[in-house]
Structure 1
């Protein structure tokens, strides 16, 4: 089963997603965020996420999500988050100045891996399409690519939930 959890910054999406797994469950937590040198605020955000996780959860700091999903793994996987993963994909492929869709082959592999996995997967992602149009070309590229990625994951997901102010709103449920 695949659940996509969308939400804005500080919406409560990560905490809500974490609570989907029963107490005592073994979970592979795939953390896509990387601390930036001298960015103490971002480091504190990462630390808060780490402190909140149950001790039996295994954390992997990874950006190669397809490898995680196609290799032997835990039966429960939490990915937090797809927006940060996409940022790394764009960076690694030097695609910030390239046309939209330049990272689509990587996204297609992720979508196929998510759809084929037998694990219980919860994927957290930012919802960035409800705000203002970003002023920079890179901001617009990111917003557009993430919007496309979110729509593709939602297509293959069994459940899609939007979290606003800590309150979940189910957008799709195949149960």
Structure 2
């Protein structure tokens, strides 16, 4: 079961995803955020996430999510979050004119082929004003496209608003 968990900043999407997978016997938590060395506020957010994780979960800090999903034994996995992954891809390819299409294709293919339970946490950027800067518009455009592609290959899509799930694509009952 692949689940895309969308939500705004501080919507509770990460916590909701963590609760969703909490019953898995083993779990790999994939953290995609940048190191928090220079920014105390960011370091505090990262620490909050780390402190919530059970000691039994393994943690991998990487932005090469596709490679990890392809080589990992089929173990339940939570990726938090795809905004960090996209930022790293744009940093590598170039914010002004570099294409992340191949990176997106690679990630979507890896997600589509992943056979263990998978939760993908991603910011929902489509509920706000159009950004004033070119780089922010680029980020929202690319993330919107990524979220749409992942929603197609995930069995479930949920939007978390104020900590509550709104099911966008619930699992279909088997007849």
TM range (shorter): over 0.9
Which residue is 2:151 aligned to?
154
Query: Structure 2: where are the runs of 5+ without partners?
Result: none
Q: TM-score, normalised by structure 2?
A: 0.94
Which residue is 1:54 aligned to?
54
C-alpha separation between the residues in 1 aligned to 2:97 and 2:104?
16
Query: Structure 1: where are the runs of 5+ without partners?
Result: none
Q: How does 1:102-121 map to 2 (within 5 A)?
A: 102-121=99-118
> Which digits, 9 at most, give the CA deviation of each residue in 1:18-58, with x for residues without a partner?
01124462110000002244210001000000000011000
Which residue is 2:126 aligned to?
129
The answer as to whether partners of 1:6 and 1:161 remain within 8 angstroms in 2 is: yes
The answer as to whether partners of 1:28 and 1:74 remain within 8 angstroms in 2 is: no
Cα deviation for residue 91 of structure 1 reads 0.2
> Which digits, 9 at most, give the CA deviation of each residue in 1:49-96, with x for residues without a partner?
000001100000011011111003352000000011000001011x21
Q: How does 1:63-102 map to 2 (within 5 A)?
A: 63-93=63-93, 95-98=94-97, 102=99
C-alpha separation between the residues in 1 aligned to 2:37 and 2:72?
33
- Which stretch shows the higher mean deviation, 119-128 or 21-30? 21-30
C-alpha separation between the residues in 1 aligned to 2:145 and 2:151?
10
C-alpha separation between the residues in 2 aligned to 1:67 and 1:106?
11
The answer as to whether partners of 1:30 and 1:59 remain within 8 angstroms in 2 is: yes
Matched residue pairs, number? 172
Aligned structure 1 segments of 4 or more residues deviating by more than 6 angstroms: none
C-alpha separation between the residues in 1 aligned to 2:167 and 2:7?
12
C-alpha separation between the residues in 2 aligned to 1:157 and 1:108?
15
Structure 1 pair 59/142, CA: closer, same or farther in 2 (3 Å)? same
Q: Secondary structure at the match of 1:154?
A: helix
Which residue is 1:35 aligned to?
35
| Cα RMSD after superposing both structures | 1.2
Q: TM-score, normalised by structure 1?
A: 0.94
C-alpha separation between the residues in 2 aligned to 1:36 and 1:25?
30
C-alpha separation between the residues in 1 aligned to 2:38 and 2:57?
28
C-alpha separation between the residues in 2 aligned to 1:104 and 1:67?
16
Cα deviation for residue 132 of structure 1 reads 1.0
Q: How does 1:155-170 map to 2 (within 5 A)?
A: 155-170=152-167
